Amino acid sequence: MKSSEMKNKDLLLYAVTDRKWLKDGVTLADECKKAIDGGVTMIQLREKELGYDDFLAQAKELKTLCQSRGIPFIVNDNVQIAIEVGADGIHVGQEDMHADDVRKLAGKDMILGVSAQNVEEAVTAEKNGADYLGVGAVFPTSSKDDASEVDFETLKEICQSVSIPVVAIGGITEDNIKELKGSGIVGISVISAIFAQEDIKDACERLCANTERILPADSSAYKDIKGAIFDIDGTVIDSMKIWDKAGLMFLEKHGIKGDDDLGKRLFAMTIGDAGKYIQENFLPNMKPEEISAGVNDVIRGFYINDAQPKEGMIELIKTLKEEGVKLTVATSTDRDVFMPCLERLGLDKYFDGIFTCTEVGHSKAEPEIFNQALELMGTSPKETWVFEDGLYSAKTAKSLGMKVAAVYDETSRHDWDEFRLMADAIIRIND
């Protein structure tokens, strides 16, 4: 991976190796495989005690592993080994080789990370060619004896003072990640929170989820954006739960209590099919179309009175509009269902156009709805972002050359691992 190809999401969960945690008969590559399986997005080989030949051999093994799994491989401090093995990048501290000297040796394409503990160091590192910063220690840590703590306000000030992404390092655990929310970081870098754990894969899965929850849903992550296409349900509005429960809520109005399995079966059906199913199994004296209309009334009532935006989405939409970005909606939901909610929330005025699958005549598994949105906005695919909670829709957008921000929703959690890997940015809120 070239430095120009690195995305913020590549820094989400940045693992730094430490062989002191290795168990008998287990190799560092074995443990790194588990970490990658759990969601690690970048690996740094940090070896302060190994001789050159052993370091080189270890670097080659991990480079091959990372390359096969599509994640960047970084070497700590040793520029010569990084160059020899063809690592994706090099990370240096303030006491190591200066960033500008590293950049001269490594060339413009290698990812360059630099450690910083204050604004001055951060600004200098960016000026000297750094692609990202590792800032800390943000909590007390035993991994580095000389690490001093960087308080929250300093971390936040550093993030605001540079245009390159910032990763928090030092003493981070799944329990204290939430304390970093609002700092502006794009990810965390950890050692013992991964490699000291009994179940590395499980530990990484929890770290990933907790880190995704603190990432900001702001416009700074979306580079060169001129157009934005927003899905509605599960993306802008926290509404997917009503589609899961509407059939059950309708039955409860008629004195019938269903279970979760029934809710899942109804969720997978169209409104018409759900009406037939309920008529055949629960309400034989009602016509299927009456039942479907009743279920629709439950859904519309939710949108009119109760549906709320996902955290940070109103602010994101407003900011993008203020920055001159063209905004459109592309949704599978019918206009008369969601528009009352957009109007109640005051969001309808921000969109230059609204497209529904029913009106377009094609699902979002096909490109037509996105092409119509692009045509109206007058933006090219490469300068347009799509905000989606659905994997199949995101794949269509990516096939057209657009960038995708993956928005987590509980109803699509089973697709999340694949979704976040193919996306260009991640938004995980309200879960």
152: its two tokens? 């929250």
Tell whether 96 is in a known binding site: yes
Last residue of a domain, one of 260, 276, 305: 305
Based on the fold, state whether residues 259 and 386 are members of the same structural domain.
no
Based on the fold, state whether residues 112 and 258 are members of the same structural domain.
no
Based on the fold, state whether residues 173 and 91 are members of the same structural domain.
yes
Tell whether 192 is in a known binding site: yes
Based on the fold, state whether residues 371 and 253 are members of the same structural domain.
no
Contact 351, 369 (CB under 8 A): no
- Alpha-carbon distance of 180 to 342, in angstroms, equals 32
- Alpha-carbon distance of 81 to 198, in angstroms, equals 31
| 221 within domain boundaries | no
If one counts the domains in the chain, the total is 3
Based on the fold, state whether residues 146 and 204 are members of the same structural domain.
yes
Tell whether 115 is in a known binding site: yes
- CATH number of the CATH domain containing 186: 3.20.20.70
| 399 within domain boundaries | yes
Tell whether 171 is in a known binding site: yes
| 220 within domain boundaries | no
| 64 within domain boundaries | yes
Place of tokens 């590549």: 10
Last residue of a domain, one of 215, 250, 276: 215
Tell whether 161 is in a known binding site: no
| 222 within domain boundaries | no
Based on the fold, state whether residues 344 and 234 are members of the same structural domain.
yes
Greatest extent of the chain over all pairs of C-alpha atoms, in Å: 81
Based on the fold, state whether residues 284 and 362 are members of the same structural domain.
no
| 156 within domain boundaries | yes
Domain that holds residue 268: 241-305
Residue 122, preceding peptide bond in cis (omega within 30° of 0):
no
Based on the fold, state whether residues 378 and 330 are members of the same structural domain.
yes
| 422 within domain boundaries | yes
In 225-341 the beta strands, taken as DSSP E runs, fall at: 227-230, 326-331
Based on the fold, state whether residues 278 and 319 are members of the same structural domain.
no
Residue type, 50: L
| pTM score, whole prediction | 0.83
Tell whether 46 is in a known binding site: yes
Based on the fold, state whether residues 321 and 391 are members of the same structural domain.
yes
Based on the fold, state whether residues 41 and 122 are members of the same structural domain.
yes
**Per-residue confidence in pLDDT tens, the chain, 431 aa:** 999 899 999 999 999 999 999 988 999 999 999 999 999 999 999 998 889 999 999 999 999 999 999 999 999 999 999 999 999 999 999 988 889 999 999 999 999 999 999 999 999 999 999 999 999 999 987 665 555 689 999 999 999 999 999 999 999 999 999 999 999 999 999 999 999 999 999 999 999 999 999 987 777 778 789 999 999 999 999 998 898 888 999 999 999 998 878 877 887 787 788 899 999 999 999 999 999 999 989 999 999 999 999 988 999 999 999 999 999 999 999 999 999 999 999 999 999 999 999 999 999 999 999 999 999 999 999 999 999 999 999 999 999 999 999 999 998 889 998 998 899 999 987 66
Last residue of a domain, one of 253, 273, 305: 305
Give residues with Cβ within 8 angstroms of 38, minimum separation 6: 200, 201, 202, 203, 204, 205, 207, 208
| 294 within domain boundaries | yes
Tell whether 143 is in a known binding site: yes
Based on the fold, state whether residues 163 and 60 are members of the same structural domain.
yes
Q: Which residues are marked as active site?
A: 46, 115, 144
